[in-house]
Amino acid sequence: MPSVPDILANAGGVVASYLEWVQNLQRQRWPDERMTAELLQILERAWRAVRDRAEERSLSYRVSAYTLALERVCDAIRRRGF
């Protein structure tokens, strides 16, 4: 059985910190249920993207996660005109 790639496994804490930052910007405090729902939605979407890429291109989950991450960084750089 394949394992979750390290880049994705470590994302939970990063995403939780991001969601806390969003709450602070909005001067809000979300109930635990909302925080969990938001976190799960983001992580599940990321997992599906990694899994789908791996299956489409016959990649390991780790390589799939890294290729998605690099593509997103490259897209962001291009959009900023660099």
Rounded to whole angstroms, the Cα distance separating 21 from 24 reads 5
- pLDDT digits 0-9 by tens, 52-81: 999 999 999 999 999 999 999 999 999 999
- Over residues 18-60, the pLDDT tens digits come to 999 999 999 999 999 999 999 999 999 999 999 999 999 999 9
Q: With bands split at pLDDT 50, 70 and 90, how would you rate the model's confidence at 2?
A: low
Q: How far apart are CA 82 and CA 78, in angstroms?
A: 6
How far apart are alpha carbons 13 and 19 in whole angstroms? 10
Give residue for tokens 């994705």: 8
